[in-house]
């Protein structure tokens, strides 16, 4: 028996307000943005936790669903799907109908033919995520969930090849435009997963044509297409001339920001921006100078210049008087440091290894980082779950607090004694050196100084190997870095968007700390598919406590995002999960 979810009916009514319109992007309207780290290419199935790859990819690829631009709390709406899906009474079968007349951007892989988007493209994309050869971080979103898919993956691991043409109970396309997904059990996160960039449709012909070069040849159906790509330097996108377009007509949440956006944008045919230029500028001062000179149209305030721009969270008058606007919120993110569980010095599950990791966490002066390196623009992360994500508990407090004196005693007890030079040694007397990988930016230099001062207090020597962010990511993905601090931004409103990166099954494909705790893995499997509620909340608390018991990571902070928007940019609002907002913006002549 089938039932139509009440949410779907409501969304379908709203769909009429956002009906298709021919795209009217103006090539003279150029949006210029900056990324503070390099991307990891634009094959989103393969990219390894790169925010900027996802950011660009969301402008190129289209998932079945997307988020309403203004709605908070966030709300899913159809994208390439005609409507929200039909869902079976038991919550295990979802049927989507893909809109007709949507086309991929022209590419040599299509051999001159016009290529229409079909349901089979979405089935293929999900299978690609699960193909073991791709080592996709998104694979955990589907493992154990789609009927028959795990068996197909197991066969591929044994035989060395994934059979994309094998019949699959859980992914069926009864006709060109219909996708039937059958789950092994109800999954409350499925619809959110079908709105992430990684599930944006790709064409099989493109993937097979470009082989190992798919990262630099993204081909989608979205509002933009890649025009120029200089790795580690510059990314240029141009409006897709065949994009179907839409009319800007969203409902206000009732706040003044939304009301102003509606005055600026209501009724416009979108997209308006005809060209996007993204520059990789890792040095914060350079980014700030570019924004101040009008060369960047919108950017978040970097830590090192916060005090120049903000006064107690408000934009200083000298900037407000220029028409610059501030959009401020606590980001749904987590800044943390991995500690490699395969590292011979730091890794392992024996008491002395746990003691070493715990002493490092206890010695780290997070308040100093927040005040000195981040100019007060962050809050302590008591657990992995930030405000705004279901499962966040404002009353939760980590069991590992700042206490360098106790950390020193812990090291003494487990045999990390001081040598003649004053630095601690391993229990066997060999040198103890903690290597924290970093990048060549002013902020990272400040953070390295905070780390060194913190561990100096417990007589632990630190070194700071320097490499680009993308090189560090690659090495971490191969379990080669001892420690590395990084930030992750949640892609869906669910805590497992981070906890997936701690599951043992995801080592090498998202789990870059190579953590593999049987106790955590058991809780992970049990909690992953549960709906929100008291039972799930209790298990999430147990997961947080297990991470602390193993001292798997250094939980650091959640950042404020202070977006500065130039006066000529109209329609700007930053969504917590759908990072790319380019198709919703307009640029006035200036």
Rg (C-alpha) for the chain, rounded Å, is 24
Distance of alpha carbon 270 from alpha carbon 583, whole angstroms: 7
pLDDT, tens only, 443-494: 899 999 999 999 999 999 999 999 998 899 999 999 999 999 999 988 899 9
Domain membership of residue 451 as a residue range: 333-560
Instruction: Check pLDDT > 80 for residue 135.
Output: yes
Nearest residue to 187 via CA among 578, 527, 577, 542: 527
Look at residue 586 and tell me if it is in a domain.
no
Tell me whether residue 381 is in a domain.
Answer: yes
Instruction: Note whether 487 and 117 are within 8 A (CB).
Output: no
Q: What is the pLDDT of residues 327-336, one digit of tens each?
A: 999 999 999 9
- Together in a domain, 338 and 206: no
Residue 318 lies in a domain: no
Mean pLDDT of 84-113: 97
Q: In the structure, what pLDDT confidence band is assigned to residue 21 with cuts at 50, 70 and 90?
A: very low
Straight-line distance from the first to the last Cα atom of the chain, in angstroms, rounded to the nearest whole number: 58
**pLDDT attached to residue 312:** 87
pLDDT in tens, 338-362: 999 999 999 999 999 999 999 999 9
* φ, ψ of residue 17 in degrees (nearest 5): -75, -20
Asked, for residue 165, whether it belongs to a domain, the answer is: yes
pLDDT band at 375 (very low <50, low <70, confident <90, very high): confident
- At 23, the pLDDT band (50, 70, 90 cuts) reads low
Looking at the structure, tell me whether residues 351 and 485 fall in a common domain: yes
223/239 Cα distance (integer angstroms)? 6
Encoding tokens for residue 328?
């401020």
Tokens at residue 388, please? 């705004």
| Number of domains present in the structure of the chain | 2
Does the pLDDT at position 18 exceed 90? no
Which domain CATH number covers 63?
3.90.76.10
Q: Is the pLDDT of residue 245 over 90?
A: yes
Strand partners, 246: 270
Q: Is residue 461, in this structure, part of any structural domain at all?
A: yes
Pair (208, 343) in one structural domain: no
Q: What is the phi/psi pair of residue 421, to 5°?
A: -85, 0
**Residue 97 domain-assigned (yes or no):** yes
pTM value surpassing 0.75: yes
Query: 83 pLDDT exceeds 60?
Result: yes
Count of CB atoms within 10 A of residue 409's CB? 13
298-300 and 553-565 beta bridge pairing: antiparallel
Please tell me the predicted confidence (pLDDT) of residue 318.
95
The CATH number of the domain holding residue 404 is 3.10.105.10
Write a three-state SS string for 395-460.
CCCCCCCCCHHHHHHHHHHCCCCECCCCCEECCCCCECEEEEEECCCHHHHHHHHHHHHHHHCCCC
271-320 pLDDT tens trace: 999 999 999 998 888 999 999 999 999 999 887 788 899 998 899 999 99
Specify the 3-state DSSP secondary structure of 381.
coil
Q: Is residue 531 part of a domain?
A: yes
- Closest-CA residue to 135 (of 43, 39, 38): 43
With respect to residue 230, please indicate whether it lies within any of the assigned structural domains: no
pLDDT in the model for residue 49 = 55
Q: Are residues 345 and 201 in the same domain?
A: no
Residue with tokens 């003691």: 355
């Amino acid at each position: 028996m089938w039932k139509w979810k009440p949410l779907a009916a409501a969304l379908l009514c709203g769909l009429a307000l956002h009906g298709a319109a021919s795209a009217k992007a103006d090539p003279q309207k150029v949006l210029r943005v900056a990324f503070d780290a390099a991307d990891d290419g634009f094959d989103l199935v393969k990219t390894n936790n790169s925010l900027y790859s996802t950011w660009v990819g969301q402008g190129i690829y289209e998932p079945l669903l997307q988020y309403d631009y203004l709605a908070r709390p966030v709300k899913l709406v159809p994208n390439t799907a005609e409507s929200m899906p039909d869902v079976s009474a038991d919550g295990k079968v979802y049927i989507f109908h893909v809109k007709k007349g949507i086309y991929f951007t022209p590419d040599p892989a299509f051999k001159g033919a016009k290529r229409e988007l079909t349901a089979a493209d979405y089935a293929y994309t999900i299978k690609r995520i699960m193909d073991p050869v791709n080592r996709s971080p998104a694979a955990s979103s589907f493992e154990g969930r789609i009927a028959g898919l795990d068996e197909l993956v197991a066969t591929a691991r044994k035989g060395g090849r994934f059979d994309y043409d094998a019949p699959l109970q859980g992914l069926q396309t009864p006709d060109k435009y219909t996708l039937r997904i059958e789950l092994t059990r109800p999954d409350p996160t499925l619809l959110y997963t079908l709105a992430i960039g990684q599930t944006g449709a790709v064409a099989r012909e493109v993937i097979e044509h470009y082989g190992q070069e798919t990262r630099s040849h993204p081909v989608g159906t979205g509002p933009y297409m890649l025009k120029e790509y200089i790795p580690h330097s510059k990314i240029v996108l141009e409006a897709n001339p065949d994009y179907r377009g839409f009319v800007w007509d969203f409902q206000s949440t009732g706040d003044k920001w939304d009301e102003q956006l509606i005055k600026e944008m209501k009724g416009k045919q979108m997209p308006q921006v005809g060209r996007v230029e993204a520059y990789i500028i890792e040095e914060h001062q350079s980014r700030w100078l570019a924004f101040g000179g009008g060369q960047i149209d919108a950017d978040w305030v970097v830590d090192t210049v916060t005090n120049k721009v903000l006064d107690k969270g408000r934009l200083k008058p000298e900037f407000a008087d220029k028409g610059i606007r501030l959009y401020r919120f606590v980001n749904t993110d987590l800044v943390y440091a991995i500690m490699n569980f395969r590292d011979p010095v730091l890794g392992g599950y024996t008491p002395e290894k746990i003691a070493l990791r715990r002493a490092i966490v206890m010695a780290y002066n997070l308040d100093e980082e927040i005040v000195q390196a981040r100019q007060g623009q962050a809050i302590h992360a008591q657990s992995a779950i930030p405000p705004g994500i279901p499962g966040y508990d404002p009353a939760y407090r980590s069991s590992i607090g700042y206490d360098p004196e106790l950390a020193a005693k812990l090291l003494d007890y487990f045999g990390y004694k001081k040598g003649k030079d004053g630095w601690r040694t391993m229990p066997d007397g060999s040198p103890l050196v903690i290597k924290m990988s970093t990048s060549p930016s002013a902020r990272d230099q400040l953070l390295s100084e905070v780390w060194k001062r913190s561990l100096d207090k417990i007589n632990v020597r630190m070194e700071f190997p320097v490499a680009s962010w993308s090189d560090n990511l690659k090495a971490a993905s191969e379990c080669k870095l001892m420690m590395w601090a990084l930030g992750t931004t949640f892609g869906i409103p669910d805590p497992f968007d981070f906890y997936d990166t701690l599951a043992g099954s995801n080592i090498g494909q998202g789990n870059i700390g190579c953590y593999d705790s049987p106790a955590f893995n058991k809780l992970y499997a049990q909690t992953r598919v549960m709906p929100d509620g008291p039972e799930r909340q209790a298990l999430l608390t147990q997961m947080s406590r297990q991470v602390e018991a193993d001292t798997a990571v250094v939980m650091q902070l959640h950042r404020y995002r202070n977006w500065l928007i130039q006066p000529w940019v109209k329609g700007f609002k930053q969504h917590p999960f759908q990072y790319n907002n380019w198709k919703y913006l307009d640029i006035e002549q200036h």
